Amino acid sequence: MGMNDRVSSVRAMGVDARVSDDRYAPASPMVYDNRRRGEERLYEVNVTSVRAVVGPAEQRCWVERQPAAAATANVNVGGAAAGAMVGSNIGRNNAGQQAATQDVQRCASQPSQAQPAYWDVTYNFRGQEHRVQMTTQPGATLTVNGQGEPRS
């Protein structure tokens, strides 16, 4: 059938069967072909701004063990009753009893250490601002065609 072994299975459907559009595989992303075409004239333009785009900040979490009363106090901040409860329970070790402890999760956000996913590049060609996303960091200039489209 000319499929070159690219189909793994087939299922027969009735003639009147309806298949919604969301059941199809998503369309493949367009790939921009930035090669020079024929004898097209090329121009060098100055890059006006470059912004590296990295993934979101990363969150680092850890677990700390602390006295149960102190953990309760961290949550129940208001009032003298909470303060009295904390004062009476911290360090209680009557008759060999160990003070109750509780695991508390702490988290902090840190900037991502990943390499940029892409660069947002802005340049001006013939008085019009253009933007392009590039997978490699650009230099001070870009090569474009007569319509301002990037070329390599």
Q: Measure Cα distances from 58 to 109, 112, 136, 140 in Å.
A: 6, 5, 23, 31
What is the tens place of the pLDDT at every residue in 35-87? 888 899 999 999 999 999 887 777 888 888 888 765 444 445 444 444 444 45
Residue pair 90/82 in contact (Cβ under 8 Å)? The answer is no
- Indicate if the pLDDT at residue 91 is higher than 80: no
d(CA 127, CA 134) in angstroms, rounded, equals: 22
Predicted TM-score (pTM) of this structure: 0.47
What is the tens place of the pLDDT at every residue in 113-122? 778 888 999 9
CATH class of 34-55+114-151: mainly beta
Residue ranges per structural domain of the chain: 34-55+114-151, 58-87+99-110
Chain-centroid distance, C-alpha 10: 37
Q: Which residues make Cβ contacts (< 8 Å) with residue 98, sequence separation at least 6? A: none
